[in-house]
Structure 1
Amino acid sequence: MEDDDVGEDEDTGVTKVRVRVPLGTRLALTSMVERHQVWAQQLKAQHRAQLKGLTAAQRDILRAEQRQALRVLRSRGSLLDKRGLLIAFGVRQELRDRGWDHSWSGVDWQEIPMGLLSGGIGNRYPECLALSLPVTLVEQLCAGCWTSSKKSIDRLRKWHADHSAIVQSRARLLEGPAAEYERLAASVITAGDVYRAAIRRGLHAVLHAPTSLPNTALAPR
């Protein structure tokens, strides 16, 4: 699974992002999504059974109700049968809990300059995931990261300016400046930090979902 869509319940534009993640994340996502795909097939079989013996008009009405019921299950995190759905669900939860799930109009946010932060992110997170996510979610996430981290970024820029000779020579930092740098760098919230937290949330939602979905979940009215 590489670039995949966000799911049939998304009607907004999407954008592509790449995220560095811990080793094994791709396998975990595949396993969890496949688990819910089995449930989705069971539900669709149930849907087909419910349509038997109905008139064409009744089938149209019931199919619309069934599609809506699926959207509700997916929005609640009860049915995350696509990788994009799983991650988008986790992002929404993460944004909500951080208080970032609102319009950021008027915020002059920009991408956090990763050059200010310590290197080695590829070593810590060796896998790279290509994701397609709703534009609104990505914009909220990036704006939240920038707004929450701007003061620390400004202080990191000043730190780099004050220690430019040491940084350029790659000399070992003294304990005081090194500790100050680590403190400032740790207070910067990057988009990768939030995406990785969101992925953990999505995986947790699938892992703790019921082992089977109730037969009455999509019963016709």
Structure 2
Amino acid sequence: MDNTVVLLGTVPVTARASVGTKDLLVQLRPVLRAERDRARALAQQEPWSTDGLSRREAAARRTRWEEHKAQLRRQGALFDSLDALVAGGLYQELESRGWNRQWPALPRQARGRLPGSPQGQWPEKIAIRLPADLVHTARSACWHACSKEINLLYDWRDRHPKALPTRASRSRCDAEALAEYKQLASKVITTGQIWRAAIHRGVTSAKAI
């Protein structure tokens, strides 16, 4: 029996990025507008034109066009919005890592920030909506690909319950323990890294148009 859960639609994601990322995305607005114009032109051409069709036939064709347009966006072939730009970049990032596949279910403790996530390094917040299935894949892959290091970090936390390893000035642990934490944390691939990589890939593709 196939127990695969199919996730439809989009979900909100907040990507934390370096200073200047928002300005860079603003500079791409002319590209996004041009892509919206291209999408409207494509919708008027065969096989998507509704000219001469009955109301029912036209509605069915518009539905197929919306589905096709969503597929173009996720494959990085249409950048008609910021969401589409990042969605295409996310698809490319998952493909490049070999992560665009079925993963085991996420455990309960996987909710929220992964242990080892840096704090305060990425000051800009970018709110986007991304395909739910790609977001689920990214979160599952980050957890399961790094589960060994994540569990070791949980063990580290149990041994050093009062430590603040992400605060360099007052870590509340000795140098050896802090070095161990940093080594483990460096091997954890966080969802934040994936969102930033997706933005970078989307920007690079948009600039190449």
Q: TM-score, normalised by structure 1?
A: 0.69
The aligned counterpart of 1:185 is: 185
Task: Report the CA distance shift for 1:188/1:144 in structure 2 as closer, same or farther (over 3 A).
Answer: same
Q: Give the superposed CA RMSD.
A: 3.5
Gaps of 5+ in 1: 1-10, 210-221
Instruction: Give me the whole-angstrom Cα distance separating, in 2, the residues matched to 1:200 and 1:15.
Output: 20
The aligned counterpart of 1:81 is: 80
Instruction: Give me the whole-angstrom Cα distance separating, in 2, the residues matched to 1:12 and 1:100.
Output: 19
Shift of 1:179: 1.9
Residue 90 (str. 1) matches residue 89 (str. 2): yes
Question: Of the candidates 5, 12, 33, which is equivalent to residue 16 of structure 1?
Answer: 12
Shift of 1:145: 0.6
Confirm or deny: 8 A CA contact 2:39 2:80 kept in the other structure.
no
Shift of 1:40: 3.5
The aligned counterpart of 2:102 is: 103
Instruction: Give me the whole-angstrom Cα distance separating, in 1, the residues matched to 2:129 and 2:108.
Output: 21
Task: Report the CA distance shift for 1:199/1:27 in structure 2 as closer, same or farther (over 3 A).
Answer: same
The aligned counterpart of 1:171 is: 172
The aligned counterpart of 1:40 is: 36
The aligned counterpart of 2:195 is: 195
The aligned counterpart of 1:56 is: 52
Q: Secondary structure at the match of 1:164?
A: coil
Task: Report the CA distance shift for 1:133/1:166 in structure 2 as closer, same or farther (over 3 A).
Answer: closer
1:101-155 CA-to-partner distances (Å, cap 9, x unmatched) read 1222545365366484365x23x21111122112111110100011012111111
The aligned counterpart of 2:4 is: none
Shift of 1:201: 0.5
Matches of residues 156-167 of structure 1 in structure 2 within 5 Å? 156-164=153-161
Instruction: Give me the whole-angstrom Cα distance separating, in 2, the residues matched to 1:55 and 1:76.
Output: 28
- What count of residue pairs does the alignment treat as equivalent? 190
Q: TM-score, normalised by structure 2?
A: 0.73
Shift of 1:55: 6.5
Shift of 1:166: 5.4
The aligned counterpart of 2:122 is: 125
Shift of 1:178: 2.3
- The one-letter amino acid paired with 1:35 is V
Please say which of residues 137-146 and 105-114 is displaced more in the overlay. Answer: 105-114
Task: Report the CA distance shift for 1:110/1:204 in structure 2 as closer, same or farther (over 3 A).
Answer: farther
- The one-letter amino acid paired with 1:197 is A
Task: Report the CA distance shift for 1:118/1:70 in structure 2 as closer, same or farther (over 3 A).
Answer: closer
Task: Report the CA distance shift for 1:20/1:74 in structure 2 as closer, same or farther (over 3 A).
Answer: closer
Gaps of 5+ in 2: 1-6
Matches of residues 2-13 of structure 1 in structure 2 within 5 Å? 12-13=8-9
Instruction: Give me the whole-angstrom Cα distance separating, in 2, the residues matched to 1:187 and 1:98.
Output: 15
Task: Report the CA distance shift for 1:39/1:14 in structure 2 as closer, same or farther (over 3 A).
Answer: closer
The aligned counterpart of 2:22 is: 26
Please say which of residues 155-164 and 143-152 is displaced more in the overlay. Answer: 155-164
Please say which of residues 139-148 and 158-167 is displaced more in the overlay. Answer: 158-167
- The one-letter amino acid paired with 1:155 is L
Larger Rg: 1
Confirm or deny: 8 A CA contact 1:109 1:146 kept in the other structure.
no
